[in-house]
Amino acid sequence: MRILLAIARHDYGRVERGDSYEYTSWFGPLVALGHDVEVFDTFGPEWAGNPSAAEDALLAAASVHRSDLVLMMLMEQEIPMTAVDRLRRTCAVANWFADDTWRFWAFSRHIAHHFNWVVTTSQKAKTAYDRMPGVCAVLSPWGYDPAVFHPVDVEPIIDVGFVGQRHGRRGKIIDRLEAEGLSVTTRGTGWPAGRIATEALAAQFASTRVNLNFLESSAGPFQRLGIRRRGTTRADRMITNVIPPPRQLKARPFEITACGGFLLTNTLPELHKYLIPGREMGVFEREPELRRVIDYYLEHDHERREIARAGMERASEYSWTRLLAGLLEGAAQGTWPLGSP
């Protein structure tokens, strides 16, 4: 299949931040599956901020490539929906909605009907999509690239670690753990040590006894409703300091377990469909009990290793290679629409 990835080539469209999640997740696995893959950078400097120019450039790229499928992961409407409508005259167009837990009402539901099919990781959003005329929605977990996230034979040298941006309540939680005398190795945007190279992540997770993960989103109630007025950003920050925003499924649990790392995360019913609490991952219910749960798994080495081993075996089901192959097979067999509406 000839697939054009219409995605941000770099993280949030910024070259200095390195490759984007969607590029590192999809390009390599799709090529490994034997597809003819090209990338259209939706934040390309020639058309970024100019919807009309972006539309013309995307249509030209799809035409030259003779694409069968254009796969997107839109952050906003960096590509106008008129471009999607025009693309559908010659090929299929699909979009992976990344944050439907909090963006469905403000963003996704307004544009989903333009695509041949859409993918969501939120069960609630999938139920809502199914009620929308003309929308074909697929429910999927997140995945991982096995070329990046894979078992590494190293002995643990880090007791507790966290990899991810410092935003929302994460900073306060880890600051509190350290104030209680627990050393936490942190990497990512906003932490003193900064980001870690993608190629070093597997060894980082495998060499950490307890890999922390937080499933929270970062959106306050005004942002979730799409209300953008003066003062709403500040109000959202104040509200989320008191009332945590909704939790959402993320890719990190699958990446950590794929490397043979022990995962300790807060809970979410959607995650329990893919990894079993207490058998394939460690969980904590509330923030105040996190330190106690960490201490338990640090003290019970054999149990922790067995959970990490079981999690690694289960994670093989969620590689991007396997997930994308399933999605594209469904499309090829007509389960998800391909071609003109």
Structural domains in the chain, CATH included, are 2-143+319-332 (3.40.50.2000), 158-215+250-318 (3.40.50.2000)
pLDDT beneath 70, residues of the chain: 217-227, 229, 231-233, 235-243, 331-341
- Cβ within 8 Å of residue 202, ≥6 positions away: 148, 149, 150, 151, 152, 259
The C-alpha angle with vertex 323 and arms to 322 and 328, in degrees rounded to 5, equals 100
State residue 16's pLDDT score.
Answer: 85
State residue 219's pLDDT score.
Answer: 65
State residue 7's pLDDT score.
Answer: 97
State residue 341's pLDDT score.
Answer: 31
Strands (E), 98-194: 117-120, 137-139, 158-163, 185-187
State residue 340's pLDDT score.
Answer: 34
Both tokens of residue 193?
């040590």
Across all residues in the chain, what is the average pLDDT?
Answer: 90
Q: Are 11 and 17 in contact (CB under 8 A)?
A: yes
Q: Are 226 and 107 in contact (CB under 8 A)?
A: yes
